[in-house]
Structure 1
Amino acid sequence: MHRGKGMKFVGDSRVTAEKKPNIPKDYSEYPGRTEAFWPNFLLKEWLVGAVFLIGFLILTVVAPSPLENQADPTNASYIPLPDWYFLFLYQFLKYEFASGDYVVLGSIVIPGLAFGALLIAPFLDTGSERRPIKRPISVSLMLIGIAVTAFLTWEAGSHVNWEERAQSNQIVETVEIDKEQEGYAVYEQYCLQCHGENLEGGSAAPGLTETGKSVDEIKDIAVNGVGTMPAGMFGGSDEELQQLGEFIRSVADKASE
């Protein structure tokens, strides 16, 4: 055998002779995978995420969260309330077996078991079947969790007067009040405890800086009460009653300027 004879060079058409730029592969042979993850698919994901983010930011501007007054440690009548997505736990802790001596059971043990069951549900039911009727363990745990959460949330919300709470704890603009007036001395004696030092209101009474009542209407409410305010709260003279009505009306007028 002579040198060089019997030696063959075989070329493979699948291997390119030169490097080409980063061109996405052709995925047409694979149904459902007809484009490259980068940048085609990922760019679409970013665009969709940007649309939802912008929509969410617009919603926060149009409908801001209902913030309340600054926390007042001296207001013992205020009852704190969690956000709506924690109301079910708030309601659960009201029950006898989940509060008091059993608070650890109600706040840690039972919620931990409930959320733990939801976490391990995929590992308990590892079947490939997609139909809910074929996945009894996962579907049952999820339906029970949704039903219990919905019921407890509804129970907690049904016992709260949301309109009264929002009105009594709403943030109001600070109004400069002349505390040297005779009317403020009357207000301090009969109204300050519920309506606040600056007429800002509290959890048990609304603010008075934006009341639309006239002097006579304010006097009538002070004597006869209104809503949750009982009659007989005012026990002063007619002169003091007039001073009180004029003082509250003057503060409301100043706030509307």
Structure 2
Amino acid sequence: MQRGKGMKFVGDSRIKAEGKMPNVPKDYSEYPGKTEAFWPNFLLKEWMIGAIFLIGYLIITVAHPSPLERQADPTDTMYIPVPDWYFLFMYQLLKYEFASGPYNVIGAIVIPGLAIGALMLVPFMDTSKERRPFKRPLPTAFMLLAFAAIFYLTYESVANHDWEKAKAQGAIVEEVQFDKESEAYQLYTGAPGASCIGCHGDAFQGGLGPSLVNTGLTSEEIIDIVHNGLNDMPGGQWKGTEEELQVLADFLENLK
């Protein structure tokens, strides 16, 4: 055989065809934008951004700590809890006629389940590699609809909630010392003042109604409010005698 003739080239899979760095992927030109290695290039950038946001969040929590309410009282059935701001849209949804009461399952499970299920199916319904939103109308429309619904329901919840009353019912009130066996307290919690404890609490701390501690009112003013009402409190709620009301009014005047 003559030299240089009949020579064959044999490929070896153990030898790399290109001498690129191990962490640099091929340039996939069909995908827009610059490509880079996931480890460590991309992941390092993600960690750096995450660390910046985490530090910023920690600074905000130290500078503006979360406000606390009074100690939870399981016997207080008049307290109306309100979720955090990111769940206010769900809180508002449960106020509507066909999402509350006997239809509570629809508002709490069916509607959120359909919405989340639709968002989860969007990637399978639109498999386009296009990144521009106006080129992907289906997922863009779903996301805009979800954002609009969440924004509207959150706004309605904030606008229609009585935040002053919520602040009053959750306010931390210094506990007052009193004798639960006294005649005045028995009148307050008994039949003559049966509706008092429901609004003003079992320890006069307040709830739907204001706190009765350190009111600065005289016994005469308290009696007048009981008879004629004040603000949201209706008059004519006292079921006892005038002598019993005087005992309770004297007790509340000195409740400090």
- TM class by shorter-chain length? 0.5 to 0.7
Alignment-mate amino acid for residue 205 of structure 1: G
Deviation by residue 1:123-178 (Cα, 9 ceiling, x = unmatched): 43343444332221121111111112222233344443121122023232322112
Q: Deviations over 1:12-42 (max 9, x none)?
A: xxx9xxxxxxxxx99xxxx797xx6499757
Amino acid at match of 2:87: F
Q: Is 1:221–2:222 an aligned residue pair?
A: no
Query: Following the alignment from structure 2 to structure 1, what is the Cα–Cα distance between the partners of residues 43 and 155?
Result: 46
Q: What is the CA–CA distance in structure 2 between the aligned matches of 1:222 and 1:228, rounded to whole Å?
A: 12
2:252 is the counterpart of 1:248: yes
The secondary structure found in structure 2 opposite 1:150 is helix
Whether contact under 8 Å (1:169, 1:206) holds in the other structure is no
Q: Residue 206 of structure 1 corresponds to which residue in structure 2?
A: 210
Structure 1 stretches lacking a partner, 5+ long: 1-14, 16-24, 253-257
Q: Is 1:178 equivalent to 2:179 in the alignment?
A: yes
TM-superposed deviation, 1:248: 1.8
What is the CA–CA distance in structure 2 between the aligned matches of 1:145 and 1:139, rounded to whole Å?
10
AA at the equivalent of 1:136: P
SS at match of 1:251: coil
Alignment of structure 1 residues 69-218 onto 2, 5 Å? 69-73=71-75, 75-99=76-100, 102-188=103-189, 189-190=192-193, 191-202=196-207, 204-218=208-222
In the superposition, relative to structure 1, how do residues 145 and 212 fare at CA in structure 2: closer, same or farther (>3 Å)? Answer: farther
**Paired residues of 1:69 and 1:170 also in contact (CA < 8 A):** no
Aligned counterpart, 2:69: 67
User: For 1:226, what is the secondary structure of its paired residue?
Assistant: coil
Cα separation, 2, equivalents of 1:144 and 1:38: 32
Q: TM-score when scaled to structure 2?
A: 0.67
Amino acid of the residue matched to residue 137 of structure 2? Answer: P
Aligned partner of residue 255 in structure 2, secondary structure: helix
Change (3 A) 1:132 1:227: same
1:100 and 1:215 map into 2 onto residues whose CA distance is 43
Partner of 1:230: 234
Query: For the structure 1 residues 105 and 231, does the alpha-carbon distance in structure 2 shift closer, same or farther, using more than 3 Å as the test?
Result: closer
Q: 1:53 to 1:93 in 2, by over 3 A?
A: closer
In structure 2, do the counterparts of structure 1 residues 205 and 114 end up closer, same or farther at CA, with 3 Å as the change threshold? same
Does the C-alpha gap of structure 1 residues 138 and 167 become closer, same or farther in structure 2, counting only changes over 3 Å?
Answer: same
Aligned residue pair count: 226
Residue 93 of structure 2 contacts residue 99 of structure 2 at CA under 8 Å; is this kept in 1? yes
Q: Deviations over 1:29-63 (max 9, x none)?
A: xx797xx649975774465145224214314xx34
TM-score normalized with structure 1 length: 0.67
Q: Which structure 2 segments of 5+ residues have no match?
A: 1-18, 25-33
Report the identity percentage. Answer: 40
